[in-house]
Amino acid sequence: MKKSAAAAVCAVLALACVMPVSAAETVKIGVYEPASGDNGAGGKQETLGIQYANSVCPTVEIGGTEYDVELAIVDNESSNEKGPTAASQLVSEGVSVVLGSYGSGVSIAASDIFEQAGVPAIGVTCTNPQVTEGNTHYFRICFLDPFQGTVLANFAADNFEAKKAYVLTKLGDDYSVGLGHYFQEAFENELGGEVVAETFPEGNADFTSYLTTAVNEGADVIFAPTSTEAAQLIIDAAAAQGIDIPILAGDTWDSNVILNAAKGKDLAIYVTTFYQEGGNEEFDTNIKEWISGDSTNLANNGGDDTVAAVTAMGYDAYFVALEALKAAGSTDPAAVNEAIWDVTYSGVTGDISFDSENGDAARDSAYVKTANTETGAWDFVGVQQKK
Amino acid sequence: MVLQPPNFLSAQARTFDERKVSMDFISKNLPYLLAGISVGGQYALIAIGYTMVYGILRLINFAHGDIFMVAALVMVYASASFPLYVTIPLVLVSTVLIGFVVERVAYKPLRDAPRMSIMISAIGVSYLLQNLALYVTGGLAQIYPAIPLISNSVSIGPATTKVVTIVTPVLTVLLVILLMWLINHTKIGMAMRAVANDFETSRLMGVKINSVISMTFIIGSFLAAVGSMLYFTNYASVVPTSGAMPGLKAFVAAVFGGIGSIPGAVIGAFIIGICENIIKGLGWTTFSDAFTFALLIVILIVKPTGLFGERATDKV
């Protein structure tokens, strides 16, 4: 009831936004997301959410003047080396605030560039604590890996009575290694389980040997917090080897890429995520219509109209940025930076507010979903709260 | 608390135990070995392309791994609109065509230029193909279509794997035997050997250099196309950089076996594929790639000509 009311308010606001025909001034919001590389698929879905939000509400009133919102979108290529270049490009375009990135590594890599330029950034789904730790310009609207890792470890222990877990992470990927570490910490120290941890290098395509090790070690669950690119290959290799151990993963796996890869295969896949499709009917219907209405959007969403959690998060992030601009009453990045601390917003993924220490969102619940390999859709398992 | 069996049973129990242990050993390690042999066969098919081109032109064709990747992309897009019996020949033909065109456009005009120029041209082609692929795919991983029969799962003793794992080494060996016959018993093969031996003299003796070189690229690209079908059936996701790592490892295999030697490249590829997976099986997953490249350095120091390489002084 509350949500639909919020949606109605949102729709009215959207109408109000659309009404004025001409607005001479423009304000730029930077979108720092991967469109290629390992996280290209996820980055594109997150960008879609931001673009959709922009199409719903393309103007904002700042200090009594109506501004057109222009998105400056760059591709950080999922690469820690190329990310800073893309970030500099945003800075030189004169953006007031930056949204992104999908993938914690690239966010950390670009953090210094934004700090030097005095541009605030709002992380959408980068879950590694280091993104916001010890700085005042990087914020985020999602939960953190220590929380997510603990939730997953508890889920493994509660639902599968797991005593031994096989953790597979990607070398040099801050998100993957970090989440694997927090899972291991919770699983070993709090739950008294045993963990076998292995890593795979960039560009690895052969997961047969890793999965064989998991089986040989007698693991009860496999935890693989990886990019969707690697996930496809892991799923394929697991199916080819007939592995019946449940596979757990973090928010990155919540993507139709995984559903398509797992469809028709006999596997048990569980993920934690930010949003469950069906959480806000009106948002779902409208964004599906918007995605299906354009072939480029459809291709960027992976060929169908499944709403990824990162898309919903991107949508909310855009409105958080608008709130910050309104509160700042100016397009000056420094003023916006000051204003973000006090922004509160009720989005489709829940209530968003920032803590006063690192600028992390106060989030205390994660959704657990499982891939239905027959219908090719996500089945809702439950909400895990912070313990 | 372990219960001791009565004395008269112990001998029997021990043999039973030993058998169980050895079965256990096999069932635990067979999957690593199978993966190694399979990926070794796929590296071999790519390595032949490197080694043949090097043998004839003294050129390291850096674009070869990317031709391998393009073959996979052609398969992805062609299979969306054609049935399989059209797609497979189409992939083979178009890959061969791309290999041929690359040679004609990027290497032939530089035939008499310093060797460094043609190598840089090869690097250029490599990046061109990668970026074209990035443009076409939009940077998203493409799922490789399943080829019936070889995509199915099969059980070998205690291990379950895809049929392609078994097919790969057999097909690789068959293709190599065919290739060796072609080189040793046909006219074009004789011409290839002559050109590899002495480029200038065979040109003077009336060997049609351009058609021999084109033929080399055609054979290399054909094998890369076959290799790409086998490789991506196993690892069914194609991105623009998919060709880079297999290409590099196949190159190491070619150097290991002695660049210019076809049996050398094949044996080198199998050794690298198997060692890589054994290392993963030992739990040193972090070092599996490092091993391959450390091997390259050791070979270049200890035996620069590789296992079967000709002694030459003009290596690049």
Q: Is A240 on the interface with B (CB under 8 A)?
A: yes
Structure confidence at residue B9 as a pLDDT band (50, 70, 90): very low
8 Å CB contact of B139 and A206: no
In the chain, the amino acid numbered B243 is G
Please give the pLDDT value at position B274: 92
Q: Find chain A residues with C-beta within 8 A of B32's C-beta.
A: 208-209, 212
User: What is the biggest distance separating any 2 CA atoms in chain A, rounded to whole angstroms?
Assistant: 66
By C-alpha distance, the chain A residue nearest B33 is A209
Q: What does each C-alpha distance from B157 to A105, A367, B29, B151, B161 come to in angstroms? A: 43, 41, 12, 19, 11
The whole-number mean pLDDT for each consecutive block of 10 residues of chain A, a chain of 387 residues, reads 56 52 77 89 92 94 91 92 93 93 91 93 92 91 91 90 93 90 92 91 84 91 91 90 91 87 90 86 92 90 87 94 93 93 90 89 87 88 75
8 Å CB contact of B139 and A213: no
Burial class of A163 by CB neighbour count within 10 A (0 to 12, 13 to 18, 19+): middle
Å between A83 CA and nearest CA of chain B = 16
By C-alpha distance, the chain B residue nearest A77 is B139
CA B43 to chain centre: 2
- Residue B17: what are its φ and ψ, rounded to 5°? -60, -45
Q: Find chain A residues with C-beta within 8 A of B162's C-beta.
A: 240
Count of beta carbons in the 10 Å neighbourhood of residue A161: 9
- Do the beta carbons of residue A219 and residue A196 sit within 8 Å? yes
Please give the pLDDT value at position B1: 40
Å between A284 CA and nearest CA of chain B = 24
8 Å CB contact of B235 and A75: no
Please give the pLDDT value at position A103: 87
- Do the beta carbons of residue B270 and residue B97 sit within 8 Å? no
**Rounded distance between C-alpha atoms, residue B138 and residue B140, angstroms:** 6
> Which segments within A262-305 are labelled E, that is strand?
269-273
Q: Find chain B residues with C-beta within 8 A of A212's C-beta.
A: 28, 31-32, 35, 281
Contacting residues for B23 by C-beta, under 8 A, at least 6 apart: B158
Count of beta carbons in the 10 Å neighbourhood of residue B65: 27
Q: pLDDT tens for residues B268-308?
A: 999 999 998 888 888 787 788 888 888 889 988 988 888 88
CATH architecture, domain A145-273+367-385? 3-Layer(aba) Sandwich (3.40)
Per the structure block, which two tokens stand in for B308?
């079967």
Which CATH topology does A2-143+278-354 take? Rossmann fold (3.40.50)
**Rounded distance between C-alpha atoms, residue B132 and residue B139, angstroms:** 10
Q: Is A263 on the interface with B (CB under 8 A)?
A: no
Q: Which residues pair with A199 in a beta bridge?
A: A169
Give this complex's ipTM. Answer: 0.74
Q: Find chain B residues with C-beta within 8 A of A216's C-beta.
A: 28
By C-alpha distance, the chain B residue nearest A171 is B286
The residue whose two tokens read 């021990």 is B14
Say which residue, A271 or B30, is predicted with more confidence: A271
8 Å CB contact of A236 and B280: no
Q: Is A123 on the interface with B (CB under 8 A)?
A: no
**Rounded distance between C-alpha atoms, residue B35 and residue B121, angstroms:** 35
Å between A41 CA and nearest CA of chain B = 6
Peptide bond into A101 cis (omega under 30): yes
Three-state DSSP at A79 gives coil
Q: Establish, for the pair of chains A and B, how many residue pairs have beta carbons separated by less than 8 Å.
A: 106
- Enumerate chain B positions whose Cβ falls within 8 A of a Cβ in A: 28, 31-32, 34-35, 39, 134, 138-141, 143, 153, 159-162, 231, 234-237, 239-242, 244-246, 277, 280-281, 283, 285-286, 288-289
Q: Is A295 on the interface with B (CB under 8 A)?
A: no
Please name the member of B138, B141, B241 whose beta carbon is closest to the beta carbon of A203. B241
By C-alpha distance, the chain A residue nearest B160 is A241
- Buried b / exposed e over A296-309, threshold 16 CB at 10 Å, is ebeebbbeebbbbb
Q: pLDDT tens for residues A180-236?
A: 999 999 999 988 999 999 999 887 888 888 998 899 899 999 999 998 889 989 998
Three-state DSSP at A121 gives strand
Q: Is A75 on the interface with B (CB under 8 A)?
A: yes
How far the first Cα of chain A sits from its last, in Å, is 27
Between vectors from CA B227 to CA B226 and to CA B228, what angle results, nearest 5°? 90
Count of beta carbons in the 10 Å neighbourhood of residue A310: 30
Please name the member of A75, A208, A299 whose beta carbon is closest to the beta carbon of B31. A208
By C-alpha distance, the chain A residue nearest B280 is A209
DSSP B228-254: HHHHHHHS-EE-TTTTHHHHHHHHHHH
8 Å CB contact of B245 and A205: yes
* Residue B8 pLDDT greater than 50, yes or no: no
Please give the pLDDT value at position B69: 95
Count of beta carbons in the 10 Å neighbourhood of residue B279: 21
8 Å CB contact of A300 and B242: no
Q: Find chain A residues with C-beta within 8 A of B153's C-beta.
A: 239-242
8 Å CB contact of A209 and B31: yes
The residue whose two tokens read 């169980």 is B20
Q: Is A229 on the interface with B (CB under 8 A)?
A: yes
**Rounded distance between C-alpha atoms, residue A49 and residue A313, angstroms:** 7
By C-alpha distance, the chain A residue nearest B290 is A201
Three-state DSSP at B241 gives coil
Contacting residues for A105 by C-beta, under 8 A, at least 6 apart: A80, A83, A128, A172, A173, A174, A175
Q: Find chain A residues with C-beta within 8 A of B286's C-beta.
A: 171, 198-199, 201
Q: Find chain B residues with C-beta within 8 A of A37's C-beta.
A: 139, 239
**Nearest in space to B57 (alpha carbons), one of B14, B119, B7, B15:** B119
Å between B169 CA and nearest CA of chain A = 17
Please give the pLDDT value at position B148: 83
- Do the beta carbons of residue A221 and residue A246 sit within 8 Å? yes
By C-alpha distance, the chain B residue nearest A230 is B237
Q: pLDDT tens for residues B93-138?
A: 999 999 999 999 999 999 888 888 999 999 999 999 999 998 888 7
Between vectors from CA A230 to CA A307 and to CA A227, what angle results, nearest 5°? 50
For chain B, give every domain's residue range.
Answer: 38-141+156-242
Q: How many CA atoms lie within 13 A of A218 on its CB side?
A: 3
Positive/negative CA dihedral, A202, A204, A210, A211: positive
Q: Rounded to two decimals, what is the model's pTM?
A: 0.80
For chain A, give every domain's residue range.
Answer: 2-143+278-354, 145-273+367-385
SS (H, E, C) B20-43: HHHHHHHHHHHHHHHHHHHHHHHH
Please give the pLDDT value at position A17: 53
